[in-house]
Structure 1
Amino acid sequence: MREELAGADDLGVDAVDVTVPSVSRMYDHYLGGKDNYAVDREAVAALDRKVPGTRALALDNRSFLRRVVHVLTREYGVRQFIDHGSGLPTQDNVHQVAQRVDSGARVVYVDNDPIVLAHGRALLEENARTAVMRADMRDTDAIFDSPEVGRLIDRGEPVALLFVSVMHCLPDSCDPAALVRRVMARVPSGSFIALNQLVSLDAETRDFVTDFMGRSTQGQWGRVREPHEVAGYFAGLDVLDPGLVEITGWRPDSDLCCRHTDDVWFEYGGVARKR
């Protein structure tokens, strides 16, 4: 991708300010993608110098997403997903995992990054059972009342709501727990939510990463939290086994899978069902 402000023009989207790192593009770089700029790679390098192992967190997170979608599709019969804060397309996107189980599975991707919108539309233009929309994941009414959701999501059937590694992008003033309550109120009983975010047991790490990312991304960040705060998001929901865990421990593909052993910071969460 060209390293210039007009680089988005070829994609038919608004100009992108490549002087400011993007959380989505930093994540893309961690996953080995090519849709990122020098400023994103520099931010990644600076973060890694203080808290090594961040790339492993990104890879663990992507693996968790694949397992969640596969389990919900195969074991629980879910056939429709809304992926909030989906990020840039990469290998094994939600629709690809779900449609390997059932080709009729439907997915709406939601993100507020114009580059995500452009690349998502390019990827999905030949897949009638998917859509990508540009929206703030906090704007529940705009998402659920959108043409994309109206076309693909059957309001009478259970739906899986995905908030995978995005809640740390929301400051406390946005009340992430209230967001969970809003989205769950818009879906029928038997629906699911998959949610995880970065946490740390170490106050210095929480403060450093929160401050670093807040300054680097100019407001695209919220806070690294503690596990008990994430647990609060699941109040009133039935959490699936094995409960809320460090995500490499959520239904691993085998006992030989690598587990995240660094408790300085890690991704924490799980999957729950609406009663």
Structure 2
Amino acid sequence: MADRLSWVPDDVNTGLPSAARLYDYLLGGGHNFAADRELAEEFLRAQPNGRAIARLNRAFLRRAVLHLVDAGVRQFLDLGSGIPTVGNVHEIAQKAAPGARVVYVDFEDVAVAHSQMILRDDDRSAVLREDLTEPDAVLAGARGTGLIDFAEPVGVLAVGVFHFVPPERDPAGVIAAYRDAVAPGSHLALSQFSSDLQPEEMAGVVAVMRQSPDPMFPRTRAEITALFDGFELVEPGVVPLPRWRPEEGSVPEDADRAGIFAGVGRKK
């Protein structure tokens, strides 16, 4: 057990589950603990498609990053980046555009520790331990890395994370702060759970996550679309996760059961 836990920061309470480690478990990762797996199994009882949804969300991240690279974006701010797994943003972006720069942002200790380990030899990527709902601190930290030039277009990624931002933290205001900080030509890629898709399953997920330190706040399609205020939505707009610019033959028959809406917008 000591060997298995040697990668865990000393101050991590392994008996307290986290959304980042739950997501890692759903994706088949190994950086999770018994408490995370127990919560994840409850999540899966409420939403049996949970593992597929996690994979679909990761696939959307890949498609969105590649779209932004095609649009000329060469620097990325990944909010709520989570525990590193296959297909990280810097891997996707730097393969498509070798000079691309990435700053990851998360406040979960295991996610930050593993990001630091993975990025130690990559001078074009960095990780900040910050709360994405504190944009002033995040933006200052991103500037401090020397990797993000806010005079040039930035890809702001908020993939599978804003359903953890409660209404009282003003999610629209948080997004607006990032929007106002970035140059024209910047993009926002966002996905989040919705109460419009599979409402019964979503209610069950909300009940499960209420038991954790990371409760969830699903939003309607209209509310999610409103988060793109000040951005021009690119086609096909805000749609169920697998329907956003799918690769040929990749849309499942039950695409509308993905539980998550996704979209990408460009700042004019």
TM-score, length basis structure 2: 0.93
Aligned to 2:239: 245
Structure 2: 5+ residue runs without aligned partners?
none
SS at match of 2:158: strand
Work out which of the residue numbers 172, 178, 193 in structure 2 matches 1:177.
172
Q: How does 1:66-215 map to 2 (within 5 A)?
A: 66-73=62-69, 75-146=70-141, 149-201=144-196, 202-215=198-211
Structure 1: 5+ residue runs without aligned partners?
none
2:11 paired with 1:18? no
Inter-CA distance 204–248: structure 2 relative to 1 (3 Å threshold): closer
**Aligned-partner Cα distance in 1 for 2:73–2:90:** 12
**Aligned-partner Cα distance in 1 for 2:2–2:51:** 24
2:266 paired with 1:273? yes
How big is the alpha-carbon RMSD for the aligned residues of Structure 1 and Structure 2?
2.0
Aligned to 2:217: 223
Q: Return the offset for 1:261.
A: 1.7
**Matched residue type, 1:36:** N
Q: How does 1:30-41 map to 2 (within 5 A)?
A: 30-41=26-37
SS at match of 1:138: coil
**Aligned-partner Cα distance in 1 for 2:83–2:68:** 22
**Aligned-partner Cα distance in 1 for 2:215–2:60:** 22
**Aligned-partner Cα distance in 1 for 2:3–2:19:** 17
Alignment deviations for residues 100-129 of structure 1 (CA, whole Å, 9 cap, x no partner): 111110000000011111100100000000
Structure 1's consecutive aligned runs of 4 or more residues displaced over 3 angstroms after TM superposition are: 1-4, 10-14, 147-150, 202-207, 262-265
**Aligned-partner Cα distance in 2 for 1:234–1:133:** 24
**Aligned-partner Cα distance in 2 for 1:174–1:35:** 29
Percent of pairs with identical residues: 38
Inter-CA distance 54–2: structure 2 relative to 1 (3 Å threshold): farther
TM-score, length basis structure 1: 0.91
**Aligned-partner Cα distance in 2 for 1:2–1:77:** 46
Contact 2:152 2:183 survives alignment (8 Å): yes
Provide the aligned length of Structure 1 versus Structure 2: 267
